Amino acid sequence: MALQLGPQLFLAPVAGLIADRYNRKRLLVTTQSVMALLSAGLGLLVVLGTAQLWHVYAFALLLGMVSALDAPVRQTFVSELVRDDFLPKAVALNSASFNVARMIGPAVAGILTVAVGPGWVFLINTVTFLALLASLWKIPTASLRPLPRAAPGKGRIREGLRYVRFRPDIVVVLVAIFIVGTLGLNFVVFIAAMVGTEFGLDAGAFGLMNSIMAIGSVAGALLSARRSRPRLRIIFGAAAAFGVASGLAALAPSYMAIFMGGTPIGAPLVGWVANVAGARWALAVAAASGLLAAAIGLVWIIRAKTLRVRVNRQPRGLPRVRLVSMAGADPRAGTADGAGRDASPDDAVER
């Protein structure tokens, strides 16, 4: 996990700059082609019986380097396919399609791994890249929206960091994403530890668990597609719900209970926790990350809106507790270019 996701931690700013400067369609064709070659290479080594552990490490590192470029290009390519007013929904539907593939893929891969072995699964995965490459080639270039490219020159990454620095609403979201992404989004580690260590099941159960988790992801993405724009209350509320769900999964007494209930720095840490304290404590770390991210978001919303707790005592029953704004107007945050922008907690954070 660390080798595969580590490059994204260090190459993300450069990859984002490349995605803004060069032809995204050609970049996607390149990254997907390289991924197909990596899948084919590892599959051949496994089928021929010559694969060693360092081969797996090397392929994981190379895949991580390619994925570091592929992710921002793939996400920004959506903006060339749809108008700005459809962009939030398009992003949500893109996430839904990704999770549908993740829902079907692990289940099929688990069955095939048991039936034909992991080497042939890698080779079959190579063939699936051909469908994606064919789809990219069939997109007419004339149908893509012409978007401005980043001008060549030095200091572009610093400009982006400077812009984020003056947007506290973006900063608090990035902090929450870092916490949850580091400690919570390590599902491969969690599921492998729970399926193998806690319940003693095989690769088929591992694939099924991934598919069950993807069902929830698809449902969440489709619900997001219904909204015209993202809101911070939804983001931090989802972080809190993620923490609660992870905590319940950690307490699940059996494999069927989880079924029904249903990153580069964090993966080694969570893996260490699972190895030392058990899979349930690793899930507890994920639960804590979600609750911590939600708490950070709640504190920021209270400060940004100048909210205060007001207790209204009732003649009968329990007192009513609510948050009220002490400011006459929503606070405003300046942007990097000097223009004022409303930075209330209900603002969309995607641009």
What angle, rounded to 10 degrees, do the helices at 203-225 and 87-116 form? 170
| Secondary structure element (H or E) that encloses residue 191, with its range | helix 187-192
> Are residue 252 and residue 141 in the same domain, yes or no?
no
pLDDT confidence bin for 230, thresholds 50/70/90? low
Which range, of 15-19, 153-157, 261-265, averages the lowest pLDDT? 261-265
Per-residue pLDDT, 153: 63
> Are residue 96 and residue 3 in the same domain, yes or no?
yes
> Are residue 185 and residue 107 in the same domain, yes or no?
no
Q: What is the pLDDT of residues 265-296, one digit of tens each?
A: 566 666 677 777 777 777 787 778 778 877 87
> Are residue 46 and residue 90 in the same domain, yes or no?
yes
> Are residue 85 and residue 199 in the same domain, yes or no?
no
Instruction: Check residues 288 and 250 and name the one with the higher pLDDT.
Output: 288
Backbone angles phi, psi at 320, to 5 degrees: -95, 125
* Count of the separate structural domains present in the chain: 2
> Are residue 6 and residue 86 in the same domain, yes or no?
yes
Instruction: Check residues 154 and 39 and name the one with the higher pLDDT.
Output: 39
- Any idea what DSSP says for residue 151? P
Say if residue 218's pLDDT is above 80. no
Per-residue pLDDT, 285: 77
Largest CA distance in the chain: 79
Residue 63 domain-assigned (yes or no): yes
Instruction: Check residues 89 and 347 and name the one with the higher pLDDT.
Output: 89
Segment 290-316 shows an average pLDDT of: 74
Per-residue pLDDT, 343: 44
Output the CA–CA distances (angstroms, integers) from residue 48 to 42, 118, 176, 186, 274, in the order listed: 10, 12, 45, 31, 33
Say if residue 257's pLDDT is above 90. no
What angle, rounded to 10 degrees, do the helices at 24-47 and 2-21 form? 160
Residue 338 domain-assigned (yes or no): no
Per-residue pLDDT, 261: 39
Residue 348 domain-assigned (yes or no): no
Residue 287 domain-assigned (yes or no): yes
283, 304, 325 - which closes a domain: 304
Instruction: Look at the block and give the residue holding tokens 């405003």.
Output: 332
Residue 299 domain-assigned (yes or no): yes
118, 137, 163 - which closes a domain: 163
Residue 124 domain-assigned (yes or no): yes
* Two tokens, residue 90: 């398009």
> Are residue 24 and residue 53 in the same domain, yes or no?
yes
Per-residue pLDDT, 44: 94
Residue 119 domain-assigned (yes or no): yes
> Are residue 33 and residue 139 in the same domain, yes or no?
yes
The enclosing domain of 64 has a CATH number of 1.20.1250.20
Mean pLDDT of the chain: 75
Instruction: Look at the block and give the residue holding tokens 């809106």.
Output: 305
Segment 319-332 shows an average pLDDT of: 60
163, 191, 214 - which closes a domain: 163
> Are residue 140 and residue 5 in the same domain, yes or no?
yes
Backbone angles phi, psi at 312, to 5 degrees: -105, 115
Residue 92 domain-assigned (yes or no): yes
> Are residue 227 and residue 256 in the same domain, yes or no?
yes
Distance CA 209, CA 215 (A): 10
Segment 194-220 shows an average pLDDT of: 72
Distance CA 211, CA 272 (A): 25
Domain that holds residue 224: 167-304
Say if residue 101's pLDDT is above 80. no
> Are residue 88 and residue 193 in the same domain, yes or no?
no
pLDDT confidence bin for 82, thresholds 50/70/90? confident
> Are residue 159 and residue 186 in the same domain, yes or no?
no
pLDDT confidence bin for 341, thresholds 50/70/90? very low
